[in-house]
């Protein structure tokens, strides 16, 4: 099992290319099930989750070809991938595939919309909370689907003639459920109105792609999305938007270590709230012609309180990274997690590096320390793992991060990107 060895203490200087967003690429790939034509996606990151989803889509009959490289970038970064599903050969998504990645459960929407039936295993994924599928199933039921759970599988059947448009209000904001209901509604008869919808940029990106395929979706990015059903969708060519979580992660790494880095190929509008908070810690952030420039000149890190919220609030996917930054702040900060009930598993690992963090329910009190000291640590989930990398970059001596397969799920060539900016980071294979 691979590990990452970090020798801390070096500021970061250089350019880091930002990859396509994993959280956008996955639903976009799943949308290929909605059409018999070819969907071409540009800027798809090379990640374990993407590779896993390609295997799942192949199981349903999607023909996949990979070629090309991102413009003006070295081979091996984000790719152009063509997805063609002439015929869906299997409407079952088996446990052995779905259990490895939660987002693969989302195939239930397109399968149900196009074939009128789907049998999908209940999902797996990171152990950061229960994240029930109730919201998905209630939304699909509102479109007329009959839902039954049996033997660990969800069996869904559309009424004769297909799904039927309806008005549905989510009791709680859910990005995944919004993705699924929006995809399913594109081929439903009549108009669907989704209320209390997620507003994340990845929702907008999927809507833009679906519209390019012939869907009629309006309101994406607001709390109310309207989908006028169409009989068929065509192919399209679409570029995956930049990864705002990767952008925020590397920005926090620079704020943690000091230095001057340009994050190339990203967009500040994707994470305004997080960048404003990062500025409050003392980092200088400016837009450039190609992305964002992050500078910290060696001054102290200021403590800032944050509360995770659905977009446009502070992202839960940056909570662990921000906590790592606050371990070196000159004072006390408070971090409140409102999205997932079990997303503080990185606390005990940061403590191994010398961090002072106490928990009270869903709030973490972080007392900044003057120094961190390297130690062996264990990654517990995707975002927690990269928070340990950030802490290790600023810690004295050597930090070894174990279970880095979590990192490979969401960060494309992380050690290479950091290494080119002066970090001493090495992947060690056993």
CATH number of 3-18+242-428: 3.65.10.10
- Please, what sign has the CA dihedral across residues 344, 282, 301, 290? positive
Say whether 343 counts as a known binding-site residue. Answer: no
Out of 127-141, 275-289, 328-342, which region has the weakest mean confidence (pLDDT)? Answer: 127-141
pLDDT at 73 over 50: no
Say whether 389 counts as a known binding-site residue. Answer: no
Specify the pTM.
0.94
Over residues 383-411, mean pLDDT: 92
Task: Count Cα atoms within 13 angstroms, Cβ side, for 389.
Answer: 31
Same fold, 3-18+242-428 and 22-239: yes
Q: Which of 85, 126, 209, 421 is catalytic?
A: 126
pLDDT at 116 over 90: yes
**pLDDT, position 171:** 94
Say whether 18 counts as a known binding-site residue. Answer: no
C-alpha span between 430 and 428 (Å, rounded):
7
Say whether 44 counts as a known binding-site residue. Answer: no
Over residues 162-170, mean pLDDT: 98
Over residues 168-203, the pLDDT tens digits come to 999 999 999 999 999 999 999 999 999 999 999 999
Binned at pLDDT 50, 70 and 90, residue 133 comes out as confident
Say whether 173 counts as a known binding-site residue. Answer: yes
- Name the residue ranges covered by the structural domains of the chain: 3-18+242-428, 22-239
Q: 209 an active-site residue?
A: no
Binned at pLDDT 50, 70 and 90, residue 124 comes out as low
**pLDDT, position 77:** 66
**Which position has the token pair 């662990």?**
320
Question: Do residues 294 and 261 touch, judged by C-beta distance below 8 A?
Answer: yes
**pLDDT, position 70:** 46
Sheet containing 63-67, strands listed edge to edge, beginning at the edge strand earlier in sequence: 63-67, 79-84, 38-44, 236-239
C-alpha span between 394 and 296 (Å, rounded):
13
Say whether 425 counts as a known binding-site residue. Answer: no
Domain at 22-239, CATH homologous superfamily: Enolpyruvate transferase domain (3.65.10.10)
**pLDDT, position 132:** 67
Over residues 232-289, the pLDDT tens digits come to 999 999 999 999 999 999 999 999 999 999 999 999 999 989 999 999 999 999 999 8
pLDDT at 125 over 80: no
């Amino acid at each position: 099992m691979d590990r990452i060895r970090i020798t801390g203490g070096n500021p970061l200087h250089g350019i880091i290319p930002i990859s396509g967003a994993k959280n956008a690429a996955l639903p976009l790939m799943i949308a290929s099930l909605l059409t018999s034509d070819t969907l071409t996606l540009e800027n798809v990151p090379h990640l374990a989750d993407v590779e896993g989803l390609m295997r799942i889509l192949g199981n349903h009959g999607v023909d996949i070809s990979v070629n090309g490289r991102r413009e003006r970038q070295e081979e091996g970064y984000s790719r152009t991938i063509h997805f063609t599903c002439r015929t869906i050969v299997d409407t079952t998504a088996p446990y052995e595939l779905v259990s490895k990645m939660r987002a693969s459960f989302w195939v239930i929407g397109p399968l149900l919309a196009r074939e009128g039936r789907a049998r999908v295993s209940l999902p797996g994924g990171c152990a950061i909370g229960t994240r029930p599928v109730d919201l998905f199933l209630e939304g699909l039921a509102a479109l007329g689907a009959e839902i039954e759970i049996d033997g660990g599988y969800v069996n869904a059947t559309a009424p004769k003639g297909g799904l039927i448009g309806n008005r549905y209000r989510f009791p709680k904001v859910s990005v995944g459920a919004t993705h699924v209901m929006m995809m399913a509604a594109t081929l439903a008869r009549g108009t669907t109105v989704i209320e209390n919808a997620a507003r994340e940029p990845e929702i907008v990106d999927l809507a833009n792609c679906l519209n390019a395929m012939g869907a009629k979706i309006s309101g994406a990015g607001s709390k109310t999305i309207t989908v006028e059903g169409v009989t068929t969708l065509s192919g399209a060519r679409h570029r995956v938007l930049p990864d705002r979580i990767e952008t925020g992660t590397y920005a926090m790494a620079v704020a943690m270590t000091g230095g001057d880095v340009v994050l190339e190929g990203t967009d500040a509008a994707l994470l305004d709230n997080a960048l404003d908070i990062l500025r409050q810690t003392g980092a200088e952030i400016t837009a450039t012609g190609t992305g964002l420039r992050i500078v910290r000149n060696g001054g102290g890190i200021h403590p800032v309180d944050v509360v995770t919220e659905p977009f446009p609030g502070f992202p839960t996917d940056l909570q662990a990274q921000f906590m790592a930054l606050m371990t070196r702040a000159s004072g006390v900060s408070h971090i409140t997690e409102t999205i997932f009930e079990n997303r503080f598993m990185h606390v005990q690992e940061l403590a191994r590096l010398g961090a002072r963090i106490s928990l009270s329910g869903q709030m973490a009190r972080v007392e900044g320390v003057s120094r961190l000291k390297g130690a062996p640590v264990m990654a517990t989930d995707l975002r927690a793992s990269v928070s340990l990398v950030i802490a290790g970059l600023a810690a004295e001596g050597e930090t070894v991060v174990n279970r880095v397969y979590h990192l490979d799920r969401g960060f494309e060539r992380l050690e290479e990107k950091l290494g080119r900016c002066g970090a001493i980071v090495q992947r060690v294979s056993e």
